[in-house]
Amino acid sequence: MAIDSRKHSHTFHWAWVILAVCFVNLFISYGIRLGYGVLLPEMIRTMSLTRRQAGDIFNSYLLAYVALSPIMGYLTDRFGARRVISFFGILLGAGALLTGTARNFWQGCLFFAIVGMGASAMWTPILTVVQRWFGAERRGMALGILSTGFGLGFAVMGKLYPVIVEQWNWRYCWYFLGAAGLLMVGINLLLLRSKPEDKGLQPWGARDEEGLIAEQGGGAPKPKTRYSEILSTSRFWMIGISYCLVAASLYVVTTFMVDYARYSLGLSYETASSLATIHGLGQVVGVLTVLTISDRVGRRPTILLSNVIISASIAGILLSGTHEFWLFLCVGVFGAFFGVTFPIYGACAGDYFRRDIMGTVIGAWTPLYGLGAIGGNSLAGYLRDVTGSFVIPFLIMILTALLAAVFMLFVKKGASLSSTRTHAT
């Protein structure tokens, strides 16, 4: 199919429909994922869970998510994002509905694992399809807009959940989001397209040479890239280990933040839940500013600064104590760089590796991210049960975020799989 390079300049471009649909998918998916931390105090109280068990229910989600995510990049590259997102959306919605029926720890683990299976298609395929629909110099902007979806999802749940809990109970929160997830299956099938070539378009904002490459089928023939080729590059591991470490810091604080405020600081459930709203709004501010800036200054310097600020904001959360102004401010800053972290690490796949394998690269990083999040949650829950405090877990996460910055110092530029020179070797 011939690609009209003029369509994106003079008419409405389908890339914006893709971005809107993906935005709603992320809104729902991250409303479920991050909203778990908001419901945690109520689930602990009514299901008689320990903090370790509460962390392990969330870890069941992460284990399923991580187990499937490595193949999501391949499935997206092989079958297209539209089919992958739609199919796994069924599991996302059904799992959320079932989580609302959980009566004990093991049921909670099983049902939330089903949610994790569905959610595995709500990051790598979405990130991949959006990057394919936007030109190289517009990806940071597109990812910034897209990423407000999970920030707003968390922000809304921080206000909505306490209202639903007060009127009914926490189970109805899962019913609400499960139904929304199933509704999106039909919308995805109707509106999503896996790549601009499917509609005879080039990526929005692409330079003329990018359009020519797309029209010619991607330029010079590209060899199939095996996982061994990706895993043999040092930059893959330096970025991946950094991703692992910062994921631990981000998820420990986010998962236990409301619980910490409710039971360690003694704040009311409504006030503690408002931290999720501040966190989510902070994400929106971060992704709308920092990601666009990263297009100009580069991903690596931005990640370095982001990880240092994450470390400092966790320290601020601890030092704030019950001073609500400083607590909310530090959580807002933490949220801003929480929102930035995942899309900006994902954008490294497009910067350091070929466009046609970026989905595979993002998927290959996901187990490292999951290892950090799962290990961090388990350790933090265990230490909270043993010590009766979140001080030691949060102190460890301060150091972990700093280490994440250190590993990015070892990421070198130079030739990589994204270079045309690589194709000839």
* Cβ neighbours of residue 312 closer than 8 Å, sequence gap 6 or more: none
Task: Tell me the C-alpha distance between 290 and 127, whole Å.
Answer: 17
* Other Cβ atoms within 10 Å of 305 Cβ, number: 18
Residue 224, pLDDT > 90, answer: no
pLDDT, one tens digit per residue, over 229-253 is 677 678 888 888 999 999 999 999 9
pLDDT at 4 over 50: no
According to the model, what pLDDT value does residue 175 have? Answer: 92
| Lowest mean pLDDT segment, chosen from 4-18, 352-366, 393-407 | 4-18
Distance CA 379, CA 49 (A): 16
Which pLDDT value is given to residue 425? 26
Average pLDDT of the segment spanning 189-211:
70
pLDDT greater at residue 2 or residue 254: 254
- Residue 248 has a pLDDT of 93
For residue 301 the two structure tokens come to 């310097």
Distance of alpha carbon 254 from the chain centroid: 13
Which has more confidence, 329 or 143? 329
Write down the pLDDT at residue 212.
45
Give the pLDDT band (50/70/90) at residue 70.
Answer: confident
- Cβ proximity of 220 and 423 under 8 Å: yes
Instruction: Provide the pLDDT for residue 246.
Output: 93
272 against 5, higher pLDDT: 272
Residue 424 pLDDT exceeds 70 = no
- List domains and CATH numbers for the chain: 12-411 (1.20.1250.20)
Where do the H-state alpha helices sit in 206-233?
208-215, 227-231
pLDDT confidence of residue 8: 44
The pLDDT tens digits of the residues spanning 131-158 come to 887 876 677 677 777 877 777 877 888 7
**Do the beta carbons of residue 373 and residue 243 sit within 8 Å?**
no
Q: Average per-residue pLDDT in the chain? A: 81
Q: Can you give the pLDDT at residue 7?
A: 46
> Is 80 exceeded by the pLDDT of residue 202?
no
Per-residue pLDDT band at 420 (split at 50, 70, 90): very low
- Residue 414, pLDDT score: 47
**HEC string for 64-109:** HHHHHHHHHHHHHHHHCHHHHHHHHHHHHHHHHHHHCCCCCHHHHH
Task: Give ∠ CA 115-72-152 in degrees, rounded to 5.
Answer: 55
Q: At a CB cut-off of 8 Å and minimum separation 6, what does 136 contact?
A: 206, 207, 210, 350
pTM, to two decimals: 0.73
Query: Between the CA of residue 394 and those of 312, 319, 390, what are the distances in Å?
Result: 11, 11, 6
3-class DSSP assignment, residue 120: coil
